[in-house]
Amino acid sequence: MEFDMHGISPEHEGKRLRIEFTDGEVCEGKLIHLATCNEHASCCGIIFDMLATNQPEKHKRSFERSSHPAIWSEIEFVRNFEVIGD
Ligand SMILES: [Zn+2]
């Protein structure tokens, strides 16, 4: 069984994306890795270097460690995205 990756593919790795999440958060980030799994929805997701977000409070602890923290999100929480740069 394959899960809906919401249009994100390995070709997007390394690109700068604007990602809208189901909770209303909008991030700009560089996609580091697209994780896929044929068996578990919870294994499918993205790791990206966070460059900007409209909900910085949600990532307060991550931003204390790095100005561009690596963030994991399960793919099911991605509403849509667009490529904004290389
Ligand atoms: Zn899995």
Please give the pLDDT value at position 1: 52
Residue 57 φ/ψ, nearest 5 degrees: -60, -35
For residue 2, name the pLDDT band (cuts at 50, 70, 90): confident
Is residue 3, in this structure, part of any structural domain at all?
no
Ligand 1 centroid to 41 CA: how many Å?
A: 7
Q: Residues 38-62: pLDDT tens digits?
A: 999 999 999 999 999 999 999 999 9
Measured CA to CA, the distance from residue 85 to residue 65 in angstroms comes to 25
Ligand 1 centroid to 35 CA: how many Å?
A: 9
Please give the pLDDT value at position 84: 98
Is residue 5, in this structure, part of any structural domain at all?
no
- In this prediction, residues 73-77 reach a mean pLDDT of 97
The CATH number assigned to the domain holding 63 equals 2.30.30.100
- In this prediction, residues 1-8 reach a mean pLDDT of 87
Instruction: Domain count for the chain, please give it.
Output: 1
Is residue 2, in this structure, part of any structural domain at all?
no
Residue 37 φ/ψ, nearest 5 degrees: -155, 135
Is residue 4, in this structure, part of any structural domain at all?
no
Is residue 34, in this structure, part of any structural domain at all?
yes
Ligand 1 centroid to 45 CA: how many Å?
A: 11
What is the reported pTM? 0.93
Is residue 37, in this structure, part of any structural domain at all?
yes
Residues with CB under 5 A from ligand 1 (ion): 37, 39-40, 43
For residue 51, give every residue at least 6 positions away whose Cβ sits within 8 Å of its Cβ, in sequence order, or none: 16, 27, 28, 29, 30, 68
For 29, other C-beta atoms within 10 Å of its C-beta total 25
Domain carrying residue 68: 10-85
Ligand 1 centroid to 3 CA: how many Å?
A: 11
